[in-house]
Structures are given as structure tokens and as C-alpha cells.
A = this chain, B = another copy of it.
Amino acid sequence: MSSVDMRVRLGSLELRNPVLTASGTFGSGREYADFFDLARLGAVVTKGVSLESWSGNPGPRIVETPSGMLNSIGLQNPGVEAFCAKDLRWLADRDVPVIVNVVGHRADEYAAVAERLEQESGVHALEVNISCPNVDAGGMAFGTTCPAAAEVVRSVRAVSTKTLIVKLSPNVTDVTEVARAVEAEGADAVSLINTLLGMVIDTRTFKPVLARGVGGLSGPAVRPVAVRMVWQVSQAVSVPVIGMGGITCAEDATEFMLAGASCVAVGTANFMDPTTAIGVVSGLERFSEEHGVERITDLVGAAWKTK
């Protein structure tokens, strides 16, 4: 067994390791249970859940880009009730912390979802998604101005005692401003990055490939932008940072932790290799052993702390 202490804290929540799944790329976890034991993850982050059911955007919903992809899923989900009845019930028996990604068109919708989930002991933390570029009302609109972001977090904080993570948008001039604003409203952690707004045009049809036109860019292509933002935010706030954006292996994850991330999340890479996340767990452990790192948390921010 490994000598490295892999445990990390997110607010009041303790995780057995710092590796999460990125919202929307791992379903409810159930879809990947055929490939490995979910209990080996730090936590499962579910897809975005709204008050009522959302039907998402018309297709095509994805298109590949160099070392990345655009998606415009649009937060299709059955609504919080159906989510609790099906996905949450299934997850309950999996011995893995569950973080629910929360979405809404208005601040009070976010709060309503949080309120409903407050009763669910199977929910260990909320990730408030104010950064989805794929919906017109809400989503990223909240994540790109401090007052709007603060309002959403305030309304959720008011009704939820669970660990509160706020998911930040990279589509801003200064990501640290928004990070500070949500920290001030009581966020226990911030996660970043969500996708970069992008577009691909089909030169045969002369139209955007995605039915909605724009979509969110993810995958290895965005990693340098994500690492840079984690580096900035982790030095600007005192709450833990969950880093993501193009992580495909333990070395990528290490970059994020050195940049200042206390946890990392694997997203698009799940599509490339469903076992990526557990590969990151074992790889981080090996890396720490090789470098004589006793606590995985010792890596966090090493790139700027030892400066």
C-alpha cells in the first residue's frame, strides 16, 4: 500500500484523494461503473441539475477541434426530482462522495435546487455552475460579472449548509475578481475552468457546425489557459481551488496541483479513456512517492509558494 497521504479537504468535506470527475463528462457515474469501482475516486461530480427538466440544445451538439472539442449540450437534465429519484438513489450505494452540479436560469432557481438537495444526505457538496456557455438565460451570464455571481452564491448559501463549490468561467478579463466575489459570499471552494466559448464553421455548408452556433471548448487544447487561471486564482483566494481543463494523465494533474489546485477534475479525457481518472489517482501517488512527498497537499501551489 502507498505511503502517501492522499486525503484532501474541501470545506467541511474530506475526500480520500484529490481526483474528481468533471461535471457533464461522467454522467451520474453509473455510465462508467462498468470500467472501474467509483469508490476509488475522490468524488463524483454529476452533470448539471436544474429545478425542472431541461431539454438542452438541438444537435449537432459536439464537434472536434485540434486537441479539443466543442460542446453545446445545453444542460439537458431531468430536473432535480427525477435526479434524486434515479441517479442519486443509485449513487447512494457506491461509497463515493457525491458533488451535484447545480444550474438555473435565475438566482432563485439555483436556490430552489439547493434547497431540495439540502434534504439529501447522499449529496456531499454542491458545485454551483455559473459558467455554462451553452444556455441563453443564466449560465455563463452569471459567471462573467461579479454582482451577478455574488447574487447566485448568496442565494444558494442562504439555503444550503453543504460544502459550496462555485464553478468559474474562463471567459472573463480577470478571473480573480469573480473568484474573490464568490469567496466573499461564502463559497467553500472554487472550481475552474469551465469551457472557453468557441465556434467551428463547416466550409461545405457555410454555417456553424453546432446547431446553436457557439459551444464550449474543452480538452488538452485549453490546458495552458486553465493552469494559468488556477495559478492566478489560487493566489487570490484562500479557499481551495479545484483545477480542471485538459487533464489526461497524472502529469497533467500534477501541473494543476503545483499551480495551486487542491483537487483536480478529469473531463473530456473520460471520452478518450474511461479509466483516465483512476490512472490519475495512482499516477499522483507514484509521483509523490518518487519525489518524497508525504502529503499530496504538499504539492499544492508549490510552483509559486517556494518562489
Contacts and interface: CB of A to CB of B under 8 A. Distances in A.
A197 interface: yes
B287 A203 contact: yes
Contacts of A66: 66-68, 219-221, 223, 246
Contacts of A287: 203
Interface in A134-170: 144-145
A67 B221 contact: yes
Contacts of A171: 173
Q: What is the copy number of this chain in the assembly?
A: 2
A155 to B, nearest CB: 22
Contacts of A231: 199, 213-214
Interface string A160-189: 000000000001110000000000000000
Q: Which of A199, A207, A302, A303 has the most CB of B within 10 A?
A: A199
A277 interface: no
Interface in A194-213: 196-201, 203, 206-208, 213
B200 A227 contact: yes
A227 B255 contact: no
Contacts of A70: 224
B224 A198 contact: yes
A238 interface: no
B214 A197 contact: no
A77 B115 CA distance: 59
Interface of A: 65-68, 70, 144-145, 171-173, 196-201, 203, 206-208, 213-215, 217, 219-225, 227-228, 231, 246, 251, 254-255, 258-259, 287, 302-303, 306
Q: What 4 A-B pairs come out closest when comparing CB atoms?
A: A198-B224, A66-B220, A221-B221, A67-B67
Given A67-B220, A198-B227, A199-B228, 10 more contacts: A65-B220, A65-B224, A171-B173, A172-B173, A197-B228, A198-B224, A200-B227, A207-B303, A217-B225, A221-B222
